[in-house]
């Protein structure tokens, strides 16, 4: 099978295209013929050697893919050859107390597909059957490939941990990113007032089209001051900060008393100074979020493509996969970048 892979941890420029054997599956696994995969910053951290585990080399990478079931193990009853599917990229042991209570993203062995195991940048991938979900015909492979990490992280942040309510005011950083676009869509399901930030003026109108009520270019305006202005000093019920070092301390200032502040991703770095008085003085709760559970995924998937629909920025051919990652790192995109196979 054809696959994009790397054999040294030197970033996206080390990606090559090569031939690999089609994986063998066991009785509880499914072989998926991948049609599209989407890019995540996680892929870059792994390929640059920044992920805190030893990556097996050569490595077929990427976590989020969609495709068609090519083969099922003999214990698999809920899928058959030819089903159109998306892969939930959170893998876990399946037998521990947390997995059995439906909290699989808190399992000790929880990890994204495409890190310790071969990922979806190939014509075929083998995955546990419990991670494979059917998609409706109305959802394209390109759109489906955008859902797993991006939408489950956004859903887990706002719905499960942030406990978003009708009419809440939510600050979402990086409104043009994959998670930014997903967070805006999910917040609008709850009729939230959405304030978002962008780093380029051309993204402002696109965020508004998605439903954002206020868009701040953080390079030109102080986002804390603008949040105060837009909320008449009331501040936000939920703040989602996936930017990290550059913004987190100021993000705390945007939460009202009792606000929930969500952190994940930290694309600008993870080391930051915070003022603890902001946290206890305002009764803030900080939630660290790492993806979400299969149960949440199954429920959320019902909302695609009518209530939620990924914003696909661009679709690259597998041969141009390096260009796709170059675009991701340029930040000059809106939504998700996809590679088709
Ligand atoms: Zn487990």
For the segment 309-336, what is each residue's pLDDT rounded down to a tens digit?
Answer: 999 999 999 999 999 999 999 999 999 9
pLDDT attached to residue 101: 97
pLDDT attached to residue 336: 98
pLDDT attached to residue 137: 96
Residue listed under structure tokens 């190939």: 122
Distance (Å) from CA 158 to ligand 1 centroid: 24
Mean pLDDT confidence for 25-43: 98
Pairing relation of β-strands 336-340 and 312-317?
parallel
Distance (Å) from CA 172 to ligand 1 centroid: 31
pLDDT attached to residue 184: 98
pLDDT (tens digit per residue) in 55-100: 999 999 999 999 999 999 999 999 999 999 999 999 999 999 999 9
Tokens describing residue 300: 């959320």
Rg of the chain taking only CA atoms, in angstroms: 20
Distance (Å) from CA 150 to ligand 1 centroid: 22
Distance (Å) from CA 102 to ligand 1 centroid: 9
Tell how far CA 20 is from the center of its chain: 27
Give the separation between CA 62 and CA 323, rounded to whole angstroms. 15
Distance (Å) from CA 30 to ligand 1 centroid: 20
- Contact present, 69 and 126 (Cβ < 8 Å): no
pLDDT attached to residue 17: 98
CA atoms within 13 A on the CB side of 291: 25
pLDDT (tens digit per residue) in 214-251: 999 999 999 999 999 999 999 999 999 999 999 999 99
Distance (Å) from CA 15 to ligand 1 centroid: 32
Higher pLDDT, 268 or 147: 147
63 DSSP assignment: S
pLDDT attached to residue 284: 98
pLDDT attached to residue 26: 98
Residues with Cβ within 8 Å of residue 270, at least 6 apart in sequence: 244, 245
pLDDT attached to residue 173: 98
Q: In degrees, to the nearest 5, what angle opens at C-alpha 331 toward C-alphas 196 and 235?
A: 15
Distance (Å) from CA 106 to ligand 1 centroid: 8
Give the separation between CA 246 and CA 268, rounded to whole angstroms. 6
Distance (Å) from CA 105 to ligand 1 centroid: 8
Distance (Å) from CA 93 to ligand 1 centroid: 4
Tell how far CA 45 is from the center of its chain: 14
Q: Mark the residues whose beta carbon lies below 5 A from ion ligand 1.
A: 92-93, 96, 99, 107
Give the separation between CA 65 and CA 209, rounded to whole angstroms. 27
Distance (Å) from CA 294 to ligand 1 centroid: 12
Distance (Å) from CA 98 to ligand 1 centroid: 6
Distance (Å) from CA 34 to ligand 1 centroid: 26
- Contact present, 49 and 55 (Cβ < 8 Å): yes
Q: In degrees, to the nearest 5, what angle opens at C-alpha 197 toward C-alphas 191 and 199?
A: 150
Distance (Å) from CA 322 to ligand 1 centroid: 35
pLDDT (tens digit per residue) in 183-199: 999 999 999 999 999 99
Mean pLDDT confidence for 273-294: 96
Tell how far CA 309 is from the center of its chain: 14
pLDDT (tens digit per residue) in 131-182: 999 999 999 999 999 999 999 999 999 999 999 999 999 999 999 999 999 9
pLDDT attached to residue 171: 98
pLDDT attached to residue 66: 98
Distance (Å) from CA 164 to ligand 1 centroid: 27
Distance (Å) from CA 285 to ligand 1 centroid: 26
């Amino acid at each position: 099978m054809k696959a994009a892979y790397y054999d040294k941890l030197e970033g996206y420029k080390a990606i090559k295209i090569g031939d690999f054997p089609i994986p063998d599956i066991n009785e509880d696994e499914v072989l998926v013929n991948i049609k599209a995969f989407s890019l995540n910053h996680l892929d870059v951290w792994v390929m640059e050697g920044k992920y805190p585990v030893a990556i097996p080399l050569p490595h077929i990478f990427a976590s989020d893919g969609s495709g068609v079931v090519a083969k099922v193990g003999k214990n698999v009853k809920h899928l058959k050859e030819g089903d159109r599917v998306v892969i939930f990229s959170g893998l876990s042991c399946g037998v521990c107390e947390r997995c059995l209570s439906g909290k699989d993203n808190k399992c000790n062995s929880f990890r994204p597909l495409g890190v310790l195991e071969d990922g979806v940048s190939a014509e075929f991938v083998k995955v546990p059957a419990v991670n494979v979900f059917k998609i409706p015909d109305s959802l394209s492979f390109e759109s489906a490939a955008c859902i797993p990490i991006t939408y489950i992280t956004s859903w887990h942040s706002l719905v499960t941990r942030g406990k978003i309510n009708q009419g809440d005011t939510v600050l979402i950083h990086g409104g043009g990113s994959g998670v930014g676009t997903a967070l805006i869509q999910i917040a609008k399901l709850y009729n939230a007032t959405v304030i978002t930030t962008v780093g380029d003026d051309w993204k402002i109108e696109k965020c508004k089209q998605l439903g954002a009520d206020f868009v701040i270019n953080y390079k030109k305006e102080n986002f804390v001051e603008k949040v105060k202005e837009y909320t008449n000093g009331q501040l936000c019920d939920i703040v989602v900060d996936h930017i990290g070092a550059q913004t987190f301390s100021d993000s705390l200032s945007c939460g009202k008393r009792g606000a929930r502040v969500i952190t994940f991703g930290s694309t600008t770095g993870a080391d930051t100074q915070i003022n603890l008085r902001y946290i206890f003085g305002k009764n803030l709760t900080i939630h660290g979020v790492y993806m979400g559970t299969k149960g949440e995924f199954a429920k959320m998937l019902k909302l695609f493509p009518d209530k939620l629909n990924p914003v696909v920025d661009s679709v690259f051919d597998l041969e141009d996969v390096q260009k796709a990652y170059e675009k991701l790192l340029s930040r000059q995109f809106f939504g998700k970048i996809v590679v088709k196979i």
